[in-house]
Amino acid sequence: MKALVYEGPGRIDLDEIDDPEPGSGEVLVSVDAAGVCGTDRHIVAGELGVAPGTVPGHEIAGTILAVGEAVDRWSPGDRVASFGQVACGACSPCRAGRPNRCRRPEILGMARQGGFAERVALPTSCLIALPDSITDAIGAIASDAIATPFHALTAIGRLRPGETVVIIGAGGLGLHAVQLARLSGAARVVAVDPSAEARDLALGVGADAVLDPTAEVEPDRALRRVARGASLVVECVGRKETVELGLAALAPGGRIVVVGVGADRPELPPLAMFTGSELSVRGSFGSTPAEIETVLALIAGGRLDVSLSVQREVPLSEAPPIFTEPFGPARTVLVPDAKDPR
């Protein structure tokens, strides 16, 4: 089959590789759409230590072609989305229903072959039924670009109705965070991004105000002025300066949820202010299969507008050059060369 294969830093090529075979408890999925996440770009740049020969791609939607032994719930022809990692099922987080915190995960597209291919073998623990009303492209990105901010806002951030929420980084995660914050009852939502396109999109999906931090001499003061005291900040960038900017925006009792992944080491405010104001910092990683199901239900029920979520669909054979191109705030989705449009 055809697949995009990571060949080393800066190189991803379309190759012919062996078809995967579903093992016991697994199914073979024809990939109908695969979202391109920022993580995939870091993989291709050689920044995450992924082994050459790996097929990236963890945002997957497709149709089951065949089932392996010990599979009884799923059948050929079923449309599915995929949870982005294979959890061990035995560690304490897995037993507690938090497979996103698995101690021994195999992340699709990193430790296990991913979805930038014509077909992929997936264990049934990764499968989520995809409603007929949801397109392949949206089904693919729902598992990460939409479910990740949903998890950050609700499970980790504990957003309460009437709160002020600041979203830092209005890209693939942040734009959905704006919508989900509004849907979850936020009274005021502020989006922060240096991109004019991202800020305009944020206003279009429900932000009350936006801020370009690069246009301010003192962005922390500017954000405090615009936000008017944030109860909750969701940081979707993963940089020292953006985490510290979010901390500076918090009202007493506020909390910041860090979704962005990076190697930076942000500093806390002076401890007298940090403890005296009872500020909280929490990390958030991915989501759970149950949360992906909830997000899909919100989309299928018309509660969540995803009309601006996908920037473009690119055939698999034309995909290698896109990893060196600038990405817009909405998702790029890879599709089969002979895709039947839904």
Catalytic residue status for 176: no
| Structural domain span for residue 28 | 2-146+287-335
In a domain, 341, yes or no: no
Question: Which of 283, 310, 327 is the last residue in one of the domains?
Answer: 283
Asked whether residue 10 falls in the same domain as residue 84, the answer is yes
How many domains are there within the chain? 2
Strands of 53-96, DSSP E: 59-67, 79-82, 85-86
Residues 166, 135 within the same domain: no
On whether both 141 and 6 belong to a single domain, the answer is: yes
Out of 42, 63, 154, 294, the active site residue is 42
pLDDT at 205: 92
pTM tops 0.85, yes or no: yes
* Candidates 39, 135, 164, 288; catalytic one: 39
Q: What is the CA radius of gyration of the chain?
A: 20
In the residue annotation, 39 being an active-site residue is answered as yes
Helix, strand, coil proportions of the chain in percent (round to 5)?
Answer: 30, 30, 40
Give yes or no for a contact between 335 and 313, defined as CB atoms under 8 angstroms apart: yes
**What would the two tokens of residue 71 be?**
């599979």
Whether residue 42 sits in one domain with residue 25: yes
Structural domain contains residue 293: yes
Q: Note whether residue 151 is domain-resident.
A: no
Q: Where are the alpha helices (DSSP H) in 152-228?
A: 172-183, 196-204, 219-227
- Note the pLDDT tens digit of each residue in 88-108: 999 999 999 999 999 999 999
Question: What CATH number is attached to the domain comprising 227?
Answer: 3.40.50.720
Residue 53 has pLDDT above 50, yes or no: yes
The answer to whether residue 137 is domain-embedded is yes
* Residue pLDDT, tens place only, 116-172: 999 999 999 999 999 999 999 999 999 999 999 999 999 999 999 999 999 999 988
Whole-angstrom CA distances from 27 to 41, 72, 151 are 27, 11, 27
| 199 pLDDT above the threshold of 60 | yes
